[in-house]
Amino acid sequence: MNNFSYIQADKAKEATTAKRDDKSAAFIAGGTTLLDLMKLNVENHDQLIDVNMLPFRGIEMTKNGLRIGALERMSDVGEHPLVVQNFPAVSQSLLLAASAQLRNMASIGGNVLQRTRCGYFRDTAFPCNKREPGTGCPAIEGDNRNLAILGTSDACIATSYPGDLSVALVALDAVLTLENAKGKQREVPITKFYLLPGSTPQKETVLEDDELIVAVTIPQTAAAQKSMYLKVRERTSYAYALASAAVGLEVQGGVIRAAKVALGGVGAQPWRSPEAEKMLVGKAPSEAVFRAAAEAALRGAKPREHNAFKVEMAQNTLVRALSEVAA
């Protein structure tokens, strides 16, 4: 880890202008992603701007839905009654993530911006297009067991966001509030926040250099209320998903009125599946309908040598999650 200077920002403006003025600076919240990557020399920052003092707190119901301050901790949000009752998928995605210690440390904003667990990205001995554009992607011919099968490119096949929360947020149409150095706020639907790797896998989100995540707002819907997050992995806890599904259904009179479907662990970004949703809406819930939706969701999959299993696993995960919320 390189030497760096450290400042603590009391006001958002202080943080965002400091970041604008220093291209090599980084915000630090819980530090659970950032410090790891700095210790590995994957990221090098000469300045860390501590944002933990900023007032981006609070978990409250607003007219647009549940608003969660970006600096709230994963464990606090995951256990919050408003979240547990109205957005079970969000609560589960948080509480099934990482370990208790990490969840106590890690913030919501930081979670949304966590980086890939691709082993090549995390080890500077390897080439990696995401870490050093133009050097190549050894994962394509190498160990790709944990990597993506949807939305990948010839430049990068990583699950750029390897975590859980954003999968639920993407499914439930959450909106991020961002603020820049001019003090201007903008709202970005999380479905538009992440970028596909294309030929620029180093560019992961639409966040500008001087922008902070202020809050996440999740619309309150019937489907959100009847939602769940299912995570599959070989180790029962403290492991990333091999495949996961965040689903929400609104069923009325035996017919699915609204469906929210997103997959984790399989997409180059948290993978919302309008294809699957289309197969569900207007139908009576049944195993066959769920299976058709799952097949639609994985239709464009491009599996590699070691992750071909993810097609079936993701489909089955989705079917299982849908069956459970419909039950």
Ligand X SMILES: Cc1cc2nc3c(=O)[nH]c(=O)nc-3n(C[C@H](O)[C@H](O)[C@H](O)COP(=O)(O)OP(=O)(O)OC[C@H]3O[C@@H](n4cnc5c(N)ncnc54)[C@H](O)[C@@H]3O)c2cc1C
Question: Token pair 């926040």 is at which residue?
Answer: 193
Quick one: what does residue 320 bind among other proteins, ligand SF4, ligand X, none, with the CB cut-off 5 to 8 Å set by partner type? other proteins
Out of 29, 71, 167, 313, the only residue in the binding site for other proteins (CB under 8 A) is: 313
Contact 75, 103 (CB under 8 A): yes
Min CB(177)–other proteins separation in Å: 30
Instruction: Compute how many residues bind other proteins; rule: CB under 8 A.
Output: 34
Sign (positive or negative) of CA dihedral 117, 104, 193, 52: negative
Q: What phi and psi, each to the nearest 5 degrees, are found at residue 179?
A: -135, 135
* Site membership for other proteins, residue 74 (CB under 8 A): no
* Site membership for ligand X, residue 31 (CB under 6 A): yes
Min CB(4)–other proteins separation in Å: 11
* Site membership for other proteins, residue 101 (CB under 8 A): no
Out of 103, 130, 231, 260, the only residue in the binding site for ligand SF4 (CB under 6 A) is: 130
Quick one: what does residue 32 bind among ligand SF4, ligand X, other proteins, none, with the CB cut-off 5 to 8 Å set by partner type? ligand X
Out of 9, 90, 95, 139, the only residue in the binding site for ligand SF4 (CB under 6 A) is: 139
For strand 47-50 and strand 5-8, is the pairing parallel, antiparallel, or unpaired? Answer: parallel
- By the 10 Å C-beta count (0-12 exposed, 13-18 middle, 19+ buried), 249 is classed as buried
* Site membership for other proteins, residue 20 (CB under 8 A): no
Among candidates 269, 55, 45, which has minimal Cα distance to 179?
55
Quick one: what does residue 117 bind among other proteins, ligand SF4, ligand X, none, with the CB cut-off 5 to 8 Å set by partner type? other proteins
- By the 10 Å C-beta count (0-12 exposed, 13-18 middle, 19+ buried), 15 is classed as buried
Binding residues among 127-156 for other proteins as defined by CB under 8 A: 138, 141-143, 145
CA torsion 93-94-95-101 (nearest 10°) is: 150
Quick one: what does residue 67 bind among other proteins, ligand X, ligand SF4, none, with the CB cut-off 5 to 8 Å set by partner type? none
Beta pairing partners, 47: 5, 25
Quick one: what does residue 156 bind among other proteins, ligand X, ligand SF4, none, with the CB cut-off 5 to 8 Å set by partner type? ligand SF4
* Number of residues in the chain: 327
Binding residues among 226-285 for ligand X as defined by CB under 6 A: 240
SS3 240: coil
Question: Token pair 């707002």 is at which residue?
Answer: 217
Out of 70, 147, 181, 242, the only residue in the binding site for ligand SF4 (CB under 6 A) is: 147
Which residue, 179 or 250, has its beta carbon nearer to ligand X?
A: 179
Phi/psi zone of residue 6: left (φ > 0), alpha (ψ -120 to 50 degrees), beta? Answer: beta
Sites of contact with ligand X (CB under 6 A)? 26-34, 36, 51, 70, 74, 97-98, 102, 105-107, 109-111, 113-114, 163-165, 212-213, 240
